[in-house]
């Protein structure tokens, strides 16, 4: 039986980011990983409404040498302990590697859909950057753009715009 999912970007959707020159940057250590207010409650509501919760995240700092895979995995273990997540899918590649899992390509969403029998047409991708929204659109999902007004390229369109994950869930559920 096919089921719907909420695909979630990690940084800026589930946890705080650090802004540098108006652009978001992920936490560098587990101690810096702070779950955003309202996220746990919002995810519980989505789960209770019958959605699988899938994190799909680009983490190119590993291949760039600015972060270790062990720290990323420790952060993901922490998120899984604190939040009702079903799975976390991570792309460790950079643009020049031309993989199909790095957002804006839909590879991570398609992989999760295959492994979990997810109906992409009944699913949502929630993200705070254009890459997230484009990946969701390419996978055939509806999209939620969390608009923080970053000083970077913005998505051309999304199904919904919101100020946070919890604000969207309050309207959606």
Provide the annotated active-site residues: 9, 11
Using CA atoms, how far apart are residues 3 and 20, in angstroms rounded to an integer?
Answer: 39
Using CA atoms, how far apart are residues 93 and 155, in angstroms rounded to an integer?
Answer: 22
The tokens describing 101, both together, are: 């899992």
Using CA atoms, how far apart are residues 77 and 104, in angstroms rounded to an integer?
Answer: 25
φ/ψ (deg, to 5) at 44: -60, -40
69 contacts 62 by C-beta, under 8 angstroms: yes
Give the residue ranges of DSSP H helices in the chain.
Answer: 39-48, 69-82, 107-116, 130-139, 165-172
Picking from 42, 73, 4, the residue whose alpha carbon sits closest to that of residue 162 is: 42
Q: How many CB atoms lie within 10 A of CB 156?
A: 9
């Amino acid at each position: 039986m096919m089921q719907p999912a909420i695909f979630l970007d990690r940084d800026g959707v589930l946890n705080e980011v650090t802004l540098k020159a108006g652009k978001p940057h992920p936490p560098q250590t587990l101690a810096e990983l702070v779950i955003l207010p309202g996220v746990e409650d919002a995810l519980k509501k989505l789960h209770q409404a019958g959605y699988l919760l899938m994190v799909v995240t680009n983490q190119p700092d590993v291949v760039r040498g600015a972060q270790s895979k062990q720290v990323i995995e420790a952060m993901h273990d922490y998120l899984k302990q604190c939040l009702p997540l079903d799975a976390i899918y991570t792309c460790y590649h950079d643009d020049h590697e031309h993989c199909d899992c790095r957002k804006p390509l839909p590879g991570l969403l398609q992989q999760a859909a295959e492994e979990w029998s997810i109906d992409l047409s009944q699913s949502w991708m929630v993200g705070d950057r254009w890459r997230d929204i484009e990946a969701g659109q390419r996978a055939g999902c509806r999209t939620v753009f969390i608009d923080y007004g970053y000083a970077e390229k913005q998505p051309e369109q999304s199904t919904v715009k919101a100020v946070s994950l919890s604000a969207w869930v309050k309207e959606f559920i």
